[in-house]
Every structure is written in structure tokens, then in C-alpha cells.
A and B are shown apart, each in its own frame.
Chain A
Amino acid sequence: MSDDQAGRFRTRLAVAAVIAALVVVPTWFGSYHHFLASLALINVIIALGLNLLTGNAGQISLCSSSFMAIGAYATTYLFAKLGLSFWLALPLGGTLAAFCGFLLGFPALRLRGFYLAVVTLGFLEVTQIVIEQIPSITGGVRGMLAPRTSLFGVKLSSDLSFYYVVLAMAIAALWCAHSLLNSPTGRAFNALRNSEAAAQTLAVPLARTKLVAFVVAAFYAGIGGGLFANLVGFIDPTEFGVWTSIRHVVFIVVGGLGSIAGSVVGAVVLTLLPELLRGFKEYNELVFGGLLLVVLIVMPAGLVGLWPELRARFRRGRPASPRDPLERPAA
């Protein structure tokens, strides 16, 4: 076996071990922990999509919670009110979210930086209003019940069984994101972020690449929303406000922009951390906001950026910290 093959084998072994642990370890814990773990994995899915759009393609988005809402409401409506199978409703919900992402992507083609942030903020506001204005479908401000689904005729009423569903989805999402980043499209995302002009001279199709990034992020958030609704059992518009979007941004900034590991670490740590600090619940926004500021100013590469930095410091006695979180070479 050559070195390369051995390395690949080790990686596969490690992945298999992690998955096995994720399957086995939860059986030792209780229902509340299964619920939390599912929530963390759903946030991982959403963060993966947002990180592709923002961290890799360099497009600011403050409306990931809107795509989540679209997925959540569409899935729940199709499943609970129209009686469609959940396993059909979920991808349809994700597709509807992706379509909305496609529509939002068009104005985004002409905008950059601040203007894009403003437009996505506006889109979030409009989604909220629309949800409130069509109570026949969404239940309006009073919200909507989302009954738990079943699989092969068995109702997934226990949080552990639903956790396995979410785990499977999260692994699929992770694998798709990984493959995408290693494809020409993924490399085009990174080229786009570093310099649109340079990317264009290298024949990267600017418009198509940006649209793909928006569609992928929206699809991920839509699927995450559909799963979220089914996990929590009840959705109302306040779940999907600007605060939720900012939390998604905090996930990827704190975890590490443009890095798949960053999305996973950020989403998991920042979903579980507030639960540990539950006594401080009313200070939640204060803590998240402060954390965001500190990370932006002190360690723009996020938590996963600490690892190579520590290693570099250990070897050469000097940190190699880039200033701009979005203008760092692709990892």
C-alpha cells in the first residue's frame, strides 16, 4: 500500500469510527439529549449551506432563517394538511426554498457587500409578513402544529428514532458539501470570493456560480427547516426572525468561514453552549453578540482556524493569522 492509499484508508476508518460513535453513544442518554443532538445536527445542515454561500462564495446573506421558514412551512403544510408523505414533502419543501433562493439570487447578481446585506434583510422582513398574512396556509401569527412523521409504517415518536433520521440527513449534507467544494463549482465559489474580476478572466461563469451558491444554501436551509418543524412539533413566525439568521451567521463565523469543519464545530458548539448556560437565557443575545464581535476582531479564522495557528506557533513561534475572514486562501 502506498502512503496515499494508507492515508485515505486511515481517513475512512476515522469517518466510520465517528459515525459509529454518533449511532451508538446517544443510546446511553435520555430523550432530552436526543432532542438537543437533533437540533445541533439540523443547525449543522443549515450552517453548511450558509457557509458555502458566505464563507466560500463570499455572498453576504442575512435571510437563511427565511429559507428555513419556507422549508418548514412548505413541508409541514404538504405533510400535515395535504396528507403527502413526509419523505416527499421534505424534499419538496427544500426545493421550494431553493426556488426562492434562485429568485433572490437574481437581484443579488447585481449587488455586492452592503447592498446585498440590505436586500437579504428586506427579504427576511417580507417572508415574515407573508407568513403572517396567509393564515389559511401558515396559521399566521398563531403558528401551526407539525406532527411527527413515520418511517416504514413506524411512527418516529421517540426523539432517538428521529435523531437517526436527522443524523442520516446531516451526513448526506456533509458529504454533498464536501463533494461540491472539491468540484469545479466549489473551486469557482472560492475564486469568486477572492476576486470576481480575476474569476471572470479565468472563465468562471459569474452569474451561474452565484445563483448555484444561493440555490444550494437555500435548499440546505429549507431541508433544515423541514426537519426542525418535525422535531419541534410547532412553528410560528417568531422562530424565523432576524435573530435566527444572525445565529446562523454566528455559527459559521465562530466555527470558521469557508470551512466544512467550521460549520460543524460552530453549529454544534453554539447549539449546546446556550443549553449549558441556561441560567443566562435572557442574556443570550448579549452573549452571542459579544462572542461574534470578539471572534471577528481577535480570530477571524474562527475556532477551526485556531488549530493550524497553534501548530504554526508551536513550530515557528509565530502565528500566521490572516486579517480578513473572507479573503483567506481556500483551505
Chain B
Amino acid sequence: MAYAVEIQLLIAGLSNGSIYALVALGLVLAFKGTGILNFAQGELVALGAYIALFFAVVMKLPYWQVVLLTLATAALFGAALERGLIRPLMRAPAFTIVVATLAIGLMIKNVLRLSWQESVSTIPSPFAGVLIRLGEININPQYLWVIGCTVVIMGLLVLFFRKSLIGKAMRAVAQNQEAARLMGIRVSRVFSGTFALSSALAALAGILVAPLIGIHAEMGAVILKGFVAAILGGFNSLAGCVVGGLLLGVLETLGGAYIGGTFKDTAAFGLLMLILLLRPHGLFGRAEARRV
């Protein structure tokens, strides 16, 4: 087959992109819902991976239980975080929010580094040792699993926001807090729910990426890729996040293979600069008028 390598790279890129998309989804959900841009989102990814590590290695639970329990724990943590530390800052200016969420991330990172110092640092993948062969194409099934999970989550999120009452309440709060409050929506609960969801998405990214890159305290650096994906997508639509994430993942992987490793590492920042300078409202967004 002529394009075997290209197809393998494309799948790897889509898989990386899916992770970026999940991070971006968490960022944008929280930002749209509460006006807080969470600079600790990267550390929430790492936290999710460590929680999964705990369930898998210490409790020795099977994979599917690990996933469900991790998502539930992460959601609880997200809600607690919102209630305890984020809510006092809800109306604070951008600078305070940036610095405060960075501080939260720093503390999470420190705790993670202190709490797990053993050598085992990845969760066993359910697909360990399996390799899918299609003619000349070799595919790591973990890649397909990552892509599949992201697609399913995306579908579930769309259903959640369209059909469920909680999802509708979240959308209402994102549009207009005052009006939502007047309609009898408990805005503070919606905030907690939003952070729970956002934190669970981050944890899912952590679980999915762990078998590919291992678990370490520096995993949080992925937040930058999440930012780029979210900004590519215009920072307001969930579909935009996914497209932005996949685009970034594929570009990085293909560029890294054909141009060089440095390109792979700097592509995200270059793309970020281009987008912010040329189309600050994202690839699909519209410019907003600013009230002075």
C-alpha cells in the first residue's frame, strides 16, 4: 500500500488531537459557563491520570471500573474545587483569575509529586501488546480507543446539552446568568456542575493519554495545546474545540515527521500567534463588538 506511513501518522495525529480536544472542551465549557479560564486544567489532566493510577495499581481494579471511578472522583473534585476556591474569585478581574488558577494548578502538581514516588507510572492499557494490522498499516489500538472515546463523548455532550434539563440549564446560565436565575435555575449549582463536567473531561484525557506518554507530574503542560485548540475553534463552540484539537494534532504529527522535532514542539505556539493576529475570533467565530 502506497500511503501506509501517512495513514499511520494521520491516526497518531488524530489520537493526539483528540486529547487536545478533550482538554480544550474542558477549558471552554468552564469558560463559557462561568467566565473562569482555568489555568489549572492541565493539572486536572495529570490529577485524573494519578487517580486512575491509584485505582489500577493500588486497588487493582479492572480497566472499566478504573475509568468510571476516576471520572466520578474527578467530577467530585471539580465540584469541590469550584465551591471552595473558584467561587470566591468568580467576579474577580482576569489577572486575579489567571494567577489564582495557576496557583491552584501549582499546588495540585506539588501534591501529586509528593504523593506518588513509586517507579510504576502508567496504568495498564487494556490493549497492551495488541497491534492491529491492515495490510502494511500497523496501528496501536490505544490510538483508536482515544479517538473512539472522544467521538462518543462528543456525541454524549451534544445530547446532554440538547436534551437533558441540566444541560439546558448550563446553556441558559452561559447565555445570561440574570435571566437564568429569574427562570428558577440555581446558578451556583450549575457552576459546580460545570466544573464537575470540565474536571471529568480532563480526567478522561488523563486516562486516555497515560498509556501513550506515561504518568508524571509534568503532564499538565498539555494545557497549552488545549488553549491553542480552543482558540483555533473560536473559544466558544464545542465543535470548534474538537476541530481545533484534531487540526493541531494532525499538523503537529505530520509536521514533526516531515519537517523535524523542533517544528512539532513549536507548531502550537506558531499557530496560536497566527490565529490571534489574523483571526482572533477563531477559524469559525465572528468578531464581537466590545462595549467601552
- Taking the closest CB of chain A, its distance from the CB of B122, in whole angstroms, is 23
- Taking the closest CB of chain B, its distance from the CB of A311, in whole angstroms, is 25
CA gap between A243 and B103 in the complex, in Å: 10
- Taking the closest CB of chain A, its distance from the CB of B223, in whole angstroms, is 8
- Taking the closest CB of chain B, its distance from the CB of A21, in whole angstroms, is 33
**Residue among A119, A130, A197, A326 making CB contact with B276, cutoff 8 Å:** A119
Does B111 lie at the interface of the complex (its beta carbon under 8 Å from any beta carbon of A)?
yes
Q: Mark B251-274, 1 if CB is under 8 A from A, else 0.
A: 000000000001001101100110
Does A151 lie at the interface of the complex (its beta carbon under 8 Å from any beta carbon of B)?
no
Task: Say yes or no: A122 contacts B100, CB within 8 Å.
Answer: no
Interface residues of B in 53-107 (CB under 8 A from A): 85, 88-89, 92-100, 102-107
Q: Mark A234-255, 1 if CB is under 8 A from B, else 0.
A: 0000000001001001000100
Known: A118-B272, A119-B273, A121-B224. A324 touches B96 (CB 8 A): yes
Known: A60-B98, A129-B266. A243 touches B93 (CB 8 A): no
Does B20 lie at the interface of the complex (its beta carbon under 8 Å from any beta carbon of A)?
no
Does A32 lie at the interface of the complex (its beta carbon under 8 Å from any beta carbon of B)?
no
Q: Mark A182-202, 1 if CB is under 8 A from B, else 0.
A: 000000000000000100000
CA gap between A121 and B89 in the complex, in Å: 21
Does B114 lie at the interface of the complex (its beta carbon under 8 Å from any beta carbon of A)?
yes
- Report how many A-B pairs have Cβ atoms within 8 Å: 120
**Residue among B106, B231, B269, B276 making CB contact with A243, cutoff 8 Å:** B106
Task: Say yes or no: B37 contacts A107, CB within 8 Å.
Answer: no
**Residue among A58, A249, A284, A324 making CB contact with B99, cutoff 8 Å:** A249
Q: Which bucket holds chain A's interface residue count?
A: 35 or more
- Taking the closest CB of chain B, its distance from the CB of A285, in whole angstroms, is 4
Q: Mark A120-163, 1 if CB is under 8 A from B, else 0.
A: 01110110011001000000000000000000000000000000
Does A29 lie at the interface of the complex (its beta carbon under 8 Å from any beta carbon of B)?
no
Greatest chain B CB density within 10 A among A107, A282, A285, A324 is at A285
- Taking the closest CB of chain B, its distance from the CB of A305, in whole angstroms, is 14
- Taking the closest CB of chain A, its distance from the CB of B283, in whole angstroms, is 16
Task: Say yes or no: A283 contacts B110, CB within 8 Å.
Answer: yes
CA gap between A62 and B94 in the complex, in Å: 13
CA gap between A129 and B224 in the complex, in Å: 14
Task: Say yes or no: A60 contacts B277, CB within 8 Å.
Answer: no
CA gap between A113 and B110 in the complex, in Å: 26
Interface residues of B in 10-50 (CB under 8 A from A): 37, 39
Task: Say yes or no: B99 contacts A110, CB within 8 Å.
Answer: no
**Residue among A117, A246, A296 making CB contact with B94, cutoff 8 Å:** A117
**Residue among A107, A110, A115, A290 making CB contact with B107, cutoff 8 Å:** A290
Known: A246-B102, A293-B100. A129 touches B262 (CB 8 A): yes
Does B285 lie at the interface of the complex (its beta carbon under 8 Å from any beta carbon of A)?
no
CA gap between A326 and B95 in the complex, in Å: 8
CA gap between A284 and B114 in the complex, in Å: 11
Does A65 lie at the interface of the complex (its beta carbon under 8 Å from any beta carbon of B)?
no
- Taking the closest CB of chain A, its distance from the CB of B72, in whole angstroms, is 26
Does B221 lie at the interface of the complex (its beta carbon under 8 Å from any beta carbon of A)?
yes
Query: In the assembled complex, which residues on chain B have CB atoms less than 8 Å from the CB atom of A122?
Result: 224, 227-228, 268-269, 272-273
Task: Say yes or no: A282 contacts B114, CB within 8 Å.
Answer: yes
Q: Which residue of chain B is the closest to A127 with respect to CB atoms?
A: B269
Q: Which residue of chain A is the closest to B100 with respect to CB atoms?
A: A296
Known: A60-B95, A121-B224, A246-B102. A115 touches B276 (CB 8 A): yes
Query: Can you list 14 contacts pairing A with B, beta carbon distance less than 8 Å?
Result: A112-B94, A114-B37, A118-B231, A118-B272, A122-B269, A125-B221, A197-B292, A284-B110, A286-B107, A289-B105, A290-B107, A293-B100, A296-B99, A323-B92
Question: Knowing that A293-B104, A296-B96 are A-B contacts, what are 7 other residue pairs whose CB atoms are under 8 Å apart, sorted by A's residue number?
Answer: A115-B276, A115-B280, A197-B292, A286-B106, A289-B104, A300-B96, A324-B92
B residues at A contact (CB < 8 Å): 37, 39, 85, 88-89, 92-100, 102-107, 109-111, 113-114, 221, 224, 227-228, 231, 262, 265-266, 268-269, 272-273, 276-277, 280, 292
